[in-house]
Amino acid sequence: MKYISTRDNKKTYNFIDTFLNGLAHDGGLYIPRVIPRLSNDTLKKFSKLNYSNLAYEIIKIYTDNTFSKKELKKIIKNSYKKFDSKNVVKFSRVKKFNLIELYHGPTLAFKDIAMQVIGNMYETILSKNRKKINLVTATSGDTGAAAIDAVKNKKNLRIFVLHPKGKVSVTQRKIMTTVNSKNVFNIAVKGSFDDCQRLVKSMFNDRSFRQSINMSGVNSINWARIVVQIVYYFYSHFQLSKKNKKSVFSVPTGNFGDIYAGYIAYKMGLPISKLIIATNENDLLHKFLMNGIYKPSKVRFSISPSMDIQVASNFERLISSYYNNNSKKISKLMMELNSKGFYKVDKNILKNIKNIFYSNSINAKNTKKTIKSVYEYNNKILDPHSSVGLKALENYYLNNDKKSENLFCLETAHPAKFGETVYKILRKNPKLPIEISKNIKKKEFYKVMPNNLAKIKNYILTNRLH
Ligand SMILES: *Cc1c(COP(=O)(O)O)cnc(C)c1O
């Protein structure tokens, strides 16, 4: 399995390069040179596997011979033992819609599913190569928590997590900041998530800084995260799809990582007929699907904060795929984005994208309404992100006469993680799992810092592992 950068399709990399570097040195994102298409026989074989064995088969394809069979099996086993579902995910149903509960991991969001595996991959790789690294990541609330839980108390690495001060929910913050571990550093940046992401990207693009801290990243641009997220698309389809029907997945979307994993599943041959980009008021991708113009604007703060994003980093990977990995073209578009603040794709490209993607932007009013109506329907409490996903799926269903599809919505977070918001809507407090509610009463550790690259770099340099 060879990888290339979206901005240079000549040079190839192996899995370890993509994993440890995160972002390619030319500023592009790593993508497989070719996405393997699975045969019908393989699909049939995969359809009979339990979650962990399926995860093994899929991750094996992309990690090639990075890990021995025994190592990879162990990584997966250790990663999912903290989940309170034997098969990692659980399913539930609201009317015609299947919900995939992805939040049964230690920090109550879907990001645990990939991050736990990544934490164990780091441990395995670093101890084999006697290397030490420093992870730096930006979070809109959930990535940070998932990453911290995945690497806390591990040897050979430290983690620095930048979150936008006051822009994550109280529970989200506490899950990150109450972890008392010597290798964990939380930084509350006075700015938005996009500011945090920009700071991290600048650090990655500063070669001497990157080298001086042996920097690595676990943001959703890390290819390994995508790989691990592919698994639940396959698993859900195999478990619940009715014979010969194709599947539709509605995905609450911010950075375009989760839904891009669905796209890879589609390219690998999973019968998917639509991927629904469900966004909150930060609707740049919804607008893109209407006019082919990708134009970030100012972030709007919503009740689904993990999707308050205007720079959907992984989207570059999708565009690259539709331009057949033409890295000259992608570099040009990204330069335009830098200089003009937007880029536009060709008409036929947009048409092709719309063959498989559908989008919907759901405002706060409809997000709340959906939480209410689902609760009234069967007492199920949705978190605001999942509610955006379900409403978008409902709209798709109403506007497209395709009753012959399996309808899935990814439930990306546990409602208790956004308990304050849910309480305002339902006058009910969703219950946190006991373990977590105990932990988050502990002392918080974080440093408040201005949105200032030099100061944050300096702080990281001072506290890095070396
Ligand atoms: C991160 C996150 C999302 C968005 O996922 P992307 O991969 O960034 O598109 C949606 N919902 C929740 C709860 C999240 O934490």
**Ligand 1 atom at minimum distance from 253 CA:** 9
Residue 263 burial (C-beta neighbours within 10 Å; 0-12, 13-18, 19+) = buried
Residue 44 clears pLDDT 70, i.e. is over it:
yes
Q: What is the dihedral of CA 231, 279, 22, 462, to 10 degrees?
A: -130
Backbone angles phi, psi at 30, to 5 degrees: -75, 140
Is residue 395 domain-resident? yes
Report the separation in Å between the CA atom of 416 and the middle of ligand 1, taken as the mean of its atom positions: 16
Per the residue annotation, which of 111, 165, 274, 391 is the catalytic one? 111
User: Closest residue (by CA) to atom 14 of ligand 1?
Assistant: 306
Residue 28 lies in a domain: no
Residue 238 lies in a domain: yes
For ligand 1, mutation pick of 103, 258, 285 (most atoms within 8 Å of CB): 258
CA proximity to 162, closest of 465, 456, 464: 456
- Would residue 23 count as lying in a domain? no
CATH, residue 314: 3.40.50.1100
111 is annotated as an active-site residue: yes
Judge if the beta carbon of residue 253 lies within 6 A of ligand 1.
yes
Asked if 342 and 293 touch (Cβ cutoff 8 Å), the reply is yes
- Low-confidence winner among 17-21, 90-94, 325-329, 386-390 (lowest mean pLDDT): 17-21
Q: Is 113 strand, coil or helix?
A: helix
User: Number of structural domains, the chain?
Assistant: 1
Closest CA to 133 of 222, 44, 58, 56: 222
Q: Is any ligand 1 atom within 6 A of the Cβ of residue 262? A: no
Burial zone of 339 (CB within 10 Å; 0-12 exposed, 13-18 middle, 19+ buried): exposed
Mutate which of 225, 412, 414, 418 for ligand 1? The one with the most ligand atoms within 8 Å of its CB, which is: 412
pLDDT tens figures, 201-256 = 899 889 999 999 999 888 778 999 999 999 999 999 999 987 789 999 999 999 99
Report which of residues 299 and 7 the model is more confident about.
Answer: 7
**Tokens 């972890």 identify what position?**
179
Q: Which of the listed residues 99, 101, 102, 110 should we mutate to test ligand 1's pocket, taking the one with most ligand atoms within 8 A of CB?
A: 110
Tally of residues, the chain: 466
Q: Is 276 near ligand 1, meaning CB less than 6 Å away?
A: no
Tell me how far apart the alpha carbons of residues 150 and 115 are, in angstroms, rounded to a whole number. Answer: 6
Tell me what pLDDT residue 254 has: 94
Please state, in angstroms and rounded to a whole number, the distance separating the CA atoms of residues 252 and 239.
Answer: 21
Compute, in angstroms, the gap from residue 255 CA to the centroid of ligand 1: 7
DSSP structure class, residue 296: -
pLDDT, tens only, 70-112: 999 999 999 999 998 999 999 999 999 999 999 999 999 999 9
Q: Which amino acid is at 185?
A: F
What is the enclosing helix (H) or strand (E) of 63? helix 51-63
Atom number, ligand 1, closest to the C-alpha of residue 255: 8
Q: Does the residue 465 lie in any domain?
A: no
Whether residue 115 has its Cβ less than 6 Å from ligand 1: no
Q: Does the residue 366 lie in any domain?
A: yes
Q: Is 258 in the pocket of ligand 1 (CB under 6 A)?
A: yes
Q: How many CB atoms lie within 10 A of CB 450?
A: 11
Nearby residues of 432 by Cβ (< 8 Å), 6 or more positions away: 108, 171, 414, 416, 419, 440
Domain membership of residue 418 as a residue range: 90-107+223-426
Q: Look at residue 312 and tell me if it is in a domain.
A: yes
Helix (H, G, I), strand (E, B) or coil at 137: strand
Q: With a cut of 80, say whether residue 450 has pLDDT above it.
A: yes
The Cα–Cα gap between 94 and 393 comes to 12
**Is 321 domain-assigned?**
yes
What confidence tier does 402 reach under pLDDT thresholds 50, 70, 90?
Answer: low
Residue 191 scores a pLDDT above 70 = yes
**Is residue 401 pLDDT above 80, yes or no?**
no
The residue assigned the tokens 């972002």 is 23
Average pLDDT of the chain, as a whole number: 95
| Ligand 1 atom at minimal distance to the Cα of residue 417 | 13
Instruction: Tell the residue number behind the tokens 């992100």, with chain if given.
Output: 385
Q: What is the pLDDT of residues 133-150, one digit of tens each?
A: 999 999 988 999 999 999
Lowest average pLDDT, out of 27-36, 127-136, 149-158, 440-449, goes to 127-136
The more confident residue out of 128 and 367 is 367
For residue 423, CA distances in Å to 389, 426, 431 come to 20, 5, 11
